[in-house]
Amino acid sequence: MIGGLYLITDQNRDDRLSERVAAALKGGARVVQYRDKDLPIETKVAAARDLAALCRQAGATFIVNDSPEVAHQSGADGVHLGQNDASVAEARRLLGPAGVIGVSTRTVEQALKAASQGADYVGVGSIYPTGSKQDTLLVGLETLRKVRRAVTIPVVAIGGIDRDRASEAIEAGADAVAVISAVMNDPGPALAAREIALLFNRRGPWPRGKVLTVAGSDPGGGAGIQADLKTITLLGTYGMGAITALTAQNTRGVRGIHPVPNDFVADQIEAVLDDLGADILKTGMLYSAGIVSVVARAIARHALPAVVDPVMIAKGGAPLLQREAVDALRRELLPHTYLLTPNLPEAEALSGLPVETENEMEKAARRLQKMGARNVLLKGGHLQGKPVDLLLAGESLHRFPSERFDTPNTHGTGCAYSAAIAAFLVQGVPLVEAVGKAKIFISEAIRTAFSMGSGHGPVNHWQAAQALKLQAASCKL
């Protein structure tokens, strides 16, 4: 079956092709198409055999571009044909009835013809401008929609697709999106692949996606792993948890912390990931350098996007991250972080820069990105005046202003905010949109917070989730 992330190899000939493809497969690529038009056939066959073995190991489909002969000799699952290549019938005779045959198309008529001739899927493109072909004819999303309505076989959107454009192609009806440079040229191909592969979760059943939160326990339920799991579940995702520390706390403050041994934190994480698996790992209170190291290794081993909330200080002022753990977080966890979500004091501690204004927030975000975080969301609740959050997504900067609410009941705000982002991401919502939805969620949770205890009460997770459901229902009307 052709679906999900469809990786096309580039023609940048180096000795890391297999390594990059293996990383992309680990990140969630479901189809790999080997493309190199200029090499001798013997060299192509040898390279294709190596890639075919990687795909078999990962349970992915392996396709050879243009040449049924190379596909046949290398043991590929199939071939992808252009309009001027061999016919579907010729490829079928060589590859047999089980061979997977795809055809590039630019019009509804070409797609219908390919389907009638026995193609197993059609590629449609180029959807967007691309640098991989000089003679590209743009067909756009509307042609993609028309082809999707016209044929019953899978449709692959091809051309110029990256993280920010993939969701549009999926919404237009693509069963798979083909990418080249967005994954192959990325310094972290596993994470780049996972980021796009997650977008297909939007078609899954509810609860949609799985989040593993690694955090401390708050017996009052307003923050920590309890708040994470409430948020994740209320928003429609399956939540799992590994506890890093037990705390004795209430709305007035933290009375005591009992850290979980490093090895047992690792056992919890691996027990979940080796069996249930996860789409995203979200962190909260990690407490010690040893636990930070455990989490960093788990993220790297499983090629998981990590939403890292660098919890350092409790509302009442108690330290929740040991001093030596801050260095470990910078050194070991930031390079594996998909989204870092610090507030302003946390951003100062991690970046070493003053962060008191919106301009300083941007500078700190860019510094943290250079330190390894792929994307950075700086929460501006500590700003003087109207608060604004800044998201540095790749090279793009996005502002999320909000109202300031006059309430002491903000316990667990950061936990719920980052957990909401993680939940939306695993549901197939693109990053910028996921942050926007999570911002609405946390703003409503603060606005409707009610007093519990005699200190900083919790935010209202339930009411915020209900408000988002009502908003989604009204948008469908």
Query: Which one from 410, 436, 448, 457 is the annotated catalytic residue?
Result: 410
Query: Which one from 413, 428, 437, 439 is the annotated catalytic residue?
Result: 413
Please count the residues of the chain. Answer: 477
Kindly give the pairing relationship between strand 210-217 and strand 29-34: unpaired
Q: Does residue 159 carry a catalytic annotation?
A: no
Query: Which one from 210, 230, 282, 379 is the annotated catalytic residue?
Result: 379
| Residue 352, both tokens | 């070493």
Instruction: Write down the residue that tokens 């820069």 correspond to.
Output: 353
Per residue, the 3-state secondary structure of the chain, as one string, reads CCCEEEEECCCCCCCCHHHHHHHHHHCCEEEEEECCCCCCHHHHHHHHHHHHHHHHHHCCEEEEECCHHHHHHHCCCEEEECCCCCCHHHHHHHHCCCCEEEEEECCHHHHHHHHHCCCCEEEEECCCCCCCCCCCCCCHHHHHHHHHHHCCCCEEEECCCCHHHHHHHHHCCCCEEEECHHHHCCCCHHHHHHHHHHHHHHHCCCCCCEEEEEEEECCCCCCHHHHHHHHHHHCCCEEEEEEEEEEEEECCEEEEEEECCHHHHHHHHHHHHCCCCCCEEEECCCECHHHHHHHHHHHHHHCCCEEECCCCECCCCCECECHHHHHHHHHHHHHHCCEECCEHHHHHHHHCCCCCCHHHHHHHHHHHHHCCCCEEEEECCCCCCCCEEEEEECCEEEEEECCCCCCCCCECHHHHHHHHHHHHHHCCCCHHHHHHHHHHHHHHHHHCCCCCCCCCCECCHHHHHHHHHHHHHHHHC
Q: Does residue 412 carry a catalytic annotation?
A: yes
Query: Which one from 244, 251, 282, 415 is the annotated catalytic residue?
Result: 415
Torsion angles phi and psi, residue 309, rounded to 5: -100, 105
Query: Which one from 102, 159, 412, 436 is the annotated catalytic residue?
Result: 412
The alpha carbon of residue 300 and the mean position of all alpha carbons in its chain are separated, in whole angstroms, by 14
Q: Does residue 415 carry a catalytic annotation?
A: yes
Query: Which one from 222, 414, 428, 457 is the annotated catalytic residue?
Result: 414
Q: Does residue 379 carry a catalytic annotation?
A: yes
Q: Does residue 372 carry a catalytic annotation?
A: no
Give the separation between CA 368 and CA 378, rounded to whole angstroms: 10
The alpha carbon of residue 352 and the mean position of all alpha carbons in its chain are separated, in whole angstroms, by 28
CA-nearest of 194, 200, 213, 182 to 302 is 194
Sheet of strand 280-283: strand arrangement:
253-259, 238-250, 210-217, 280-283, 306-308, 339-340, 375-378, 388-393, 396-401
Q: Does residue 337 carry a catalytic annotation?
A: no
> Catalytic residues, which ones?
379, 410, 412-415
